Amino acid sequence: MINSLRSKKFNVIAVDLPGNGFSDRSRMEFEERSDGAFQRFKDVYGLIQEKGFFWAFDQIVETGQIPYEEILKARVLERKSVKVIELGSDEVGRVLGQVIDTFNLAPVHLVLHDSALPMSANWVAENPGSVKSLTLLDTGIKPALPLFALNLPLIRDFVLGSSFGYQWLIRFCCMKKVGSFDVEDNRVLLKGRDRCRAVSEMGRKLNNSFDMAEWGSSEGIKGIPMQILWSSVWSKEWSEEGSRVADALPQAKFVGHSGGRWPQVDSADELAKHIADFVSSLPKTVRQVEEEPIPEHIQKMFDEASSSGHNHDHHHSHSGHDNHEGHAHAAGYMDAYGLGHTWGQ
């Protein structure tokens, strides 16, 4: 889908939200420990495990004293622990804002798929100046990939434990045609350490009380051009859900497509055309790019090169007519709060 849009001369950036894709799924935290008798026993036991059963006895024989200093060093009252990312909707929205601000992308044509809408809705409403248009792609409060399949140990082991189990789940819940989708890579990625937990925890924190109609009628949203791309062939129930979304957002253009609930895989070119046609129908984005001053020592080199007869052409862009497509995937934070490994190029 990215390649298809880029072939139409759009600048496309895809974001793996925190806990998803290749983005960070955990962060390091420092927490205080209790200082009770049981904790002291655990510290001494841990030290014996590390240094050997006869270590303390040898120390007593050699020095005539119990090795209090070593034991005290091991008993730090603050310890590091790795915590799985558990971000709520407002926090995820701020991450999206950080991405857009850090790379100076605003205003963007934002494409939100699956449960990325309830994750990002508040941020969009509060920052309408950063959003040129919205495309909602089969968006729902609940993700297409059922979280219970990742939460229940027996089902999770079956689904993630074999290619067959995971392929069955994808066919049943997300898309019928999986030939162009690398199921095995996706399964292995989701099976990685804490990855499944991160996706589950973020899904658990989705705003289940999100009101589509109330959001669509808010002041920040009313002025944003919007289209809804919805599967017209997935199921009768999903088509009815699409009708409810269209009724809740009467200002949006509604377009049916022939893909499933993960249509960016099996209907990429069709979706890219719908997005390109919609974005192209809007006034062009004109972005003013401020030039940073050239450092004095660099300017001196340029001047010397010019005076010695060398001609250099310096091309500076003062304005750009660029369309930026931001894709947020449901199901980013460098060290969980920055932008490490969040870009799909």
pLDDT in tens, 118-144: 888 989 999 999 999 999 999 988 888
- Phi, psi values for residue 144, rounded to 5°: -65, -40
Q: How far apart are CA 186 and CA 85, in angstroms?
A: 20
In CATH, which superfamily holds the domain spanning 1-24+88-281? Alpha/Beta hydrolase fold, catalytic domain (3.40.50.1820)
Give bridge partners of residue 134 from the DSSP assignment: 110, 226
Spatial CB neighbours of 184, under 8 Å, sequence gap ≥ 6: 163
Q: Is 26 helix (H, G, I), strand (E, B) or coil?
A: strand
Q: Which residues of the chain have pLDDT under 50?
A: 77-78, 310-324, 329-345
Would you put residue 240 in left (φ > 0), alpha (ψ -120 to 50) or beta? alpha
- pTM surpassing 0.85? no
Q: How far apart are CA 257 and CA 262, in angstroms?
A: 11
- Phi, psi values for residue 336, rounded to 5°: 75, -5
Q: What's the pLDDT score for residue 44?
A: 62
Q: Give domain limits for the chain.
A: 1-24+88-281, 32-78
The full DSSP string for 123-163 is HHHH-GGGEEEEEEES--SS-SS-THHHHSHHHHHHHHH-H
Q: How far apart are CA 19 and CA 199, in angstroms?
A: 6
Residue of 272, 264, 328 whose CA lies nearest to 14: 328
**139 and 150 Cβ atoms separated by less than 8 Å:** no
Q: Is 325 helix (H, G, I), strand (E, B) or coil?
A: strand
Q: What's the pLDDT score for residue 312?
A: 39
Q: What's the pLDDT score for residue 248?
A: 93
